[in-house]
Chain A
């Protein structure tokens, strides 16, 4: 077991190194001179000041040297300072904004799971019947609608027409849980819809496969009722892919809430990333990207571990 954990950790570190290296190189290769981001557009380009800045940010070092320096700092959780807002630390910005994005992603996943699991189970149980066809069609449609269209529709219906939830803005936790929840419901739902569609199809198809298994027939032959068999025998073996995709999609959502955060004007990570890209704030872009990628990799490792809880056969491995 210790050996397994050590090898997983080694793989995790290797992956993070590769991921940071690639994102660093790619963002470093973005066109445009960082000087133009650091100095206001109308500021005079005094060669001495420019040279000083280049020195300060290490802009003339080879990319590899810059990466190693950056990595050294990153290991101490220092991701540098914003080029544009001098004095603003990248890590501080991430800390500031990740709660919003993480909450959105988590709520979206929870909403999606709560709806999709019963949908998938019923679809599999009533395979080919009206209810299955209806839910399959619904998830097909949900999958083909882009997030922001869903978002606009939700705003129109629940904010403008019904006035149940606000159309934009964000209340932090300290304003009260309900106040916070109200501002999160619509954007999280907009993100949840396509997740729900993906999850329910996955649960349905895994469940259909599980229901063919001999142990399901054995359970029937014991006279257990269908509900018990579905929930206590078939659901767990059918949820391995779901656990995987939840991990992957949660990671992806952390970097993928940009459009919804923009639509709802939320102070999240995605909104900040777009901002940084627009102003060529390279260090900020690098910091956020690397952060998201790292979280993504860590989550996937955690999913591997979670697997063992779902399937006892893997625990030994």
Chain B
């Protein structure tokens, strides 16, 4: 393969065991006329080499801002970032723009959400695939073209030589996303971010693209962060999952552990909102009632409390800290975790009191956005 990813065998023992990426207390806030938008508000996580982390949450929970903050790609002029992002032992937040340009594409790359807009409409696919190969790897135009065509072949684009001279609008959405993946892989990055790589695509091609990403990640021993709003997408394809709510991590666990023993009511709500294949066709999905929180003035106490089926008076006053569950690597931030005696008690209390969010979660109400986010219990 012309552009191999990080080779596991070349690394020393300590490098192999040390996580490639460690994020500590990352905060990304945007100063706006209406106030400070706390899009990412104290996130800590780590990803081991060759592993895949899924970041899941509703739209607006800060997933995109988080991944762009880690990669230092937040270009807005009003952005304020705090914390530590340690990549392969280097603190990325301290790097100069010039140093970052040596990291982008070569060390870390990103596949964006919308392949319709992330390719330049007036530049041929070939140039968009080769320009960074030539820039970073200092190879000739024809060598870069060969590499690019090889890449197009490896992401299973038919007739790669012909496609090479296409403009993006001459390709379908799925094809363009394959091109974007090929572009991201071109300089053999060690770490790949995929920000909702299939959200903008037809259902029929979503699986192909996800499989392609998984395959490439394994072949190249890449470390990957897969961002999605769909818990179903990351279920079978990640080693670990972090559930985000209002810019914070609500729950984090190895994938199997998360599905076997989820603790956070928000994770449970997300799971409930995945359509099940064996469900009769017109079963109404139990969507999460209420709107995502205001990131300028988040609810006091637990940010999920206005929408939470389990919420108790304590939740509206005190912010739950991230606590360790018995299983290694499992953490959650909740006062009344799912499946615990306190959680069950809270659920019963709310059912008895007729809390709308609880009734909706139990399937006894049509969950809609009309359910008011109540402040205070019941």
Contacts and interface: CB of A to CB of B under 8 A. Distances in A.
A63 B108 CA distance: 75
A312 interface: yes
Interface residues of A, number: 22
A98 interface: no
Nearest to A226: B97
Contact of A237 (B103, B109, B122, B180): B122
Interface of A: 128, 213-215, 217-225, 228, 232-233, 236-237, 310-313
30 contacts: A128-B77, A213-B117, A214-B112, A214-B117, A215-B117, A215-B119, A215-B120, A215-B121, A217-B73, A217-B75, A217-B112, A217-B118, A218-B180, A219-B120, A220-B104, A221-B71, A221-B105, A221-B109, A221-B110, A222-B105, A222-B132, A223-B103, A228-B135, A233-B123, A236-B122, A236-B123, A237-B120, A311-B121, A312-B122, A313-B122
A43 to B, nearest CB: 65
Given A215-B117, A313-B121, A223 B102 contact: yes
Given A128-B77, A217-B75, A222 B183 contact: yes
Contacts of B103: 223
Interface string B104-116: 1110011010100
Query: Which of A128, A220, A232: most chain B Cβ within 10 A?
Result: A220
- Secondary structure of the B side of the interface? loop
B101 interface: yes
Interface of B: 71, 73, 75, 77, 100-106, 109-110, 112, 114, 117-123, 131-132, 135-136, 167, 169, 180, 183, 187
Given A215-B121, A218-B118, A312-B122, 17 more contacts: A128-B77, A214-B114, A214-B117, A215-B117, A217-B75, A218-B183, A221-B73, A221-B110, A222-B132, A222-B135, A222-B183, A223-B102, A223-B187, A232-B123, A233-B123, A310-B122, A311-B121
A217 B104 CA distance: 11
A208 to B, nearest CB: 12
B88 to A, nearest CB: 16
A223 B106 contact: yes
Nearest to A239: B122
A224 B169 contact: no
A83 B77 CA distance: 65
Nearest to B103: A223
Nearest to B117: A214
A311 B73 contact: no
B118 A225 contact: no
Query: Which of A213, A219, A223, A237: most chain B Cβ within 10 A?
Result: A223
A3 to B, nearest CB: 20
A228 B121 CA distance: 16
B118 A215 contact: yes
Contacts of B121: 215, 237, 311-313
A312 B123 CA distance: 9
Contact of A312 (B104, B110, B132, B169): B169
Query: Which of A213, A219, A224, A232: most chain B Cβ within 10 A?
Result: A219
Contacts of B169: 312-313
A219 B75 CA distance: 13
Given A215-B117, A217-B75, A223 B122 contact: no
Contacts of A214: 112, 114, 117-118
A219 B136 CA distance: 13
Contacts of A237: 120-122
